[in-house]
Amino acid sequence: MKSGEQLSFAGRLGTDFKVDKVTGFVIPGHGISFTTQPDSLGKFGRVGVPVDASSIPNGLEIVQVGKPGHYELAVKPGVNMTPDEFQGKFGAVRPVAGCP
């Protein structure tokens, strides 16, 4: 998120996640990005917000993707979820208490 913005999560279809053209469900394995190195986001004009892992909704998981410290909130394998359902679950994700 950019400094001063209200915390929200939203995935970008085709960028953050893909949809199976046959089933219409989100393909597991990729989603919105998280990092364990929030200081690395400054070069993108963004700030990091620690996420309360207990707030991750059912049907989603945090998976390590790419560089060490980079994670994505993705649909779990075996879960059938439409893009609207996927996006809707992001509203339940909360920052760690005391963070913006």
Domain borders along the chain are 1-100
Q: How many CB atoms lie within 10 A of CB 56?
A: 16
What local confidence, expressed as pLDDT, does residue 26 receive?
A: 96
Rounded to an integer, the average pLDDT of 50-78 is 88
Work out the pLDDT band at 7, boundaries 50, 70, 90.
Answer: low
Q: State the average pLDDT for the chain.
A: 81
Nearest to 32 by CA among 54, 100, 42, 49: 49
What local confidence, expressed as pLDDT, does residue 8 receive?
A: 62
What local confidence, expressed as pLDDT, does residue 99 receive?
A: 56
0.75 cut: is pTM over it?
A: yes
Rounded to an integer, the average pLDDT of 12-28 is 93
